[in-house]
Amino acid sequence: MLGGPGLESVVDQIISVITNDGRNIVGVLKGFDQATNIILDESHERVYSTKEGVQQLVLGLYIIRGDNISVIGELDEELDAGLDLSELRAHPLKPVIH
């Protein structure tokens, strides 16, 4: 997981965040603090299902508390653009248990 100073290299880039409750939120990292609270712009949540394609719920400007973040990763925009999310099927992520 990127954290603290490691996030500086991905500011203004698209990232994917997996939260402790199993949500996948994608957006442009605009800022963060020492507690890894992050600010995402142009964000959306990807909701996975085994019965239909991935739904993308628009969130816009979004703040995520650092203590609710499990994983932060860079998103390969070229690879992501080539995915047909309407055809993708997957089980929703389960919450992270500490």
CATH number at residue 41: 2.30.30.100
Instruction: In whole angstroms, give the CA distance from residue 2 to residue 10.
Output: 9
92: in domain: no
Instruction: In whole angstroms, give the CA distance from residue 60 to residue 73.
Output: 19
Average pLDDT over residues 17-22: 95
Average pLDDT over residues 2-25: 87
Q: Which domain holds residue 69?
A: 13-75
Position 2 scores a pLDDT of 52
34: in domain: yes
Position 5 scores a pLDDT of 55
pTM: 0.88
Structural domain total, the chain: 1
pLDDT one-digit tens code per residue, 39-94 = 999 999 999 999 999 999 999 999 999 999 999 999 999 999 999 998 989 998 88
40: in domain: yes
